[in-house]
Amino acid sequence: MPDFIPGLVLGELFYREAVMPILDRHFPGLPYAAALVGSGSEVLGYDTPMSTDHHWGPRLLLFLNEADYDRLRQNIHDVLAWQLPYTFRGYSTHFTPPNPDDNGTQLLQTISSGPVNHRVEMLTLRQFFKSALDFDLDSDIEPADWLTFPQQRLLGITRGAVYHDDVGLEAARARFTFYPRDLWLYLLASGWARIGQEEPFVGRTGSVGDDVGSQVLAARLCRDVIRLAFLMERQYAPYSKWLGTAFARLDCAPRLLPLLRGAMLAQTWHEREECLSPAYETLAQMHNALGVTEPLPTTVSPFFGRPFQVIHGDRFAAALQAAIEDETLRRLPLIGSIDQFSDSTDLLENIRLRQQLKQLYTA
């Protein structure tokens, strides 16, 4: 087995050493962008040797202008199919056909003759953003768009690597760098609202002997803390497989990780509360450091006289909501974005549902 090369590095080497010379020789002066963006663990930089067995290998996205795409796409595809090497840095450049039983996955396959079924995938900017977000690049990005774009999709667009750009890919990506200020405040408010709605229940369920219920609630709250931390650091959160990996790389992770791990491993509700309380306090300190509202209390206190320590997330939510300047956005119910109210893979991955979901924010 060849030495593992992270996919983003492999993609750049593949472009510069194999693909670019062919394009320069056969299509001199052709404007295009070459990149590895969109889907794939390697786009996020999380691929490992295990990734090489599944939809991974020497590959690129090649972005063409609209006219060149219609005129040259098939020609470029065929030239690459016959002139690419059969292997690159020890990995086959030939892929199996998409597997309809495995979400269209393609695997590396060794061949020694005939055309290469390569994954230099050609498309236009318009096609890419329509496929990734169901969004027309000629349109303005409205609040309802931002709130129905899955963060994993936004992350795949803004991460990865662009190796060459003559067609405006970087400028198009820059539009999605992060949420506008009022949208950001709304999402922060929604995240705090989720914490405020459930934070006393870890102790309440535990106090009546429902330890499983207490554990489930603690785990939910830990995930809410994590997602709020991403927002506070102005980072998109990946989907569940990489959520913990990405969280561990946030600036706040050294402070929060031990507390969240302790809350999820705790054996009693008292122990869970002892870990969650300083986690909430850390979030409160992070909130005040943002300077988006007047400073709020950073220590937990009893929940309206009951013996459960809470940070009163609803207070943070209300303060953030009041700081939103856009009146329509300020009046929205704090359901948050698609990622905040649902973890359904079918909902998040079926981007065609986005137009229906926008009605939640525009009715």
> Quick one: how far is CA 148 from the chain centroid?
13
Percent of the chain with pLDDT over 70: 100
Retrieve residue 329's tokens. Answer: 């956005």
pLDDT tens for each residue of 161-217: 999 999 999 999 999 999 999 999 999 999 999 999 999 999 999 999 999 999 999
Q: How many CA atoms lie within 13 A of 169 on its CB side?
A: 28
Looking at residue 72, its amino acid is L
Residue of 327, 284, 271 lying closest to 195 (CA atoms): 284
pLDDT at 246 over 90: yes
Structural contact between residues 68 and 76, judged by C-beta atoms closer than 8 angstroms: no
Retrieve residue 255's tokens. Answer: 């402070």
Cα separation of 120 and 312, whole Å? 52
pTM of the model: 0.94
Cα separation of 88 and 153, whole Å? 29
Residue of 300, 278, 310 lying closest to 203 (CA atoms): 310
Cα separation of 243 and 232, whole Å? 15
Retrieve residue 212's tokens. Answer: 């499983």
pLDDT of residue 104: 87
Element (H, E) at 20: helix 20-26
pLDDT at 53 over 90: no
- Taken in order 147, 148, 149, 152, the sign of the CA dihedral is positive
pLDDT of residue 316: 98
Average pLDDT (84-107) is 93
Cα separation of 214 and 202, whole Å? 5
pLDDT tens for each residue of 261-308: 999 999 999 999 999 999 999 999 999 999 999 999 999 999 998 999
Percent of the chain with pLDDT over 90: 96
Cα separation of 152 and 142, whole Å? 19
User: What letter does residue 17 receive in the DSSP assignment?
Assistant: I
pLDDT at 363 over 70: no
pLDDT of residue 359: 94
pLDDT of residue 150: 97
Q: Return mean pLDDT, the chain.
A: 96
Residue of 173, 168, 176 lying closest to 64 (CA atoms): 168
pLDDT at 1 over 80: no
pLDDT at 10 over 70: yes
Confidence label for 103 from pLDDT (cuts 50, 70 and 90): confident
Three-state DSSP state, 149: coil
pLDDT of residue 292: 98
pLDDT at 224 over 70: yes
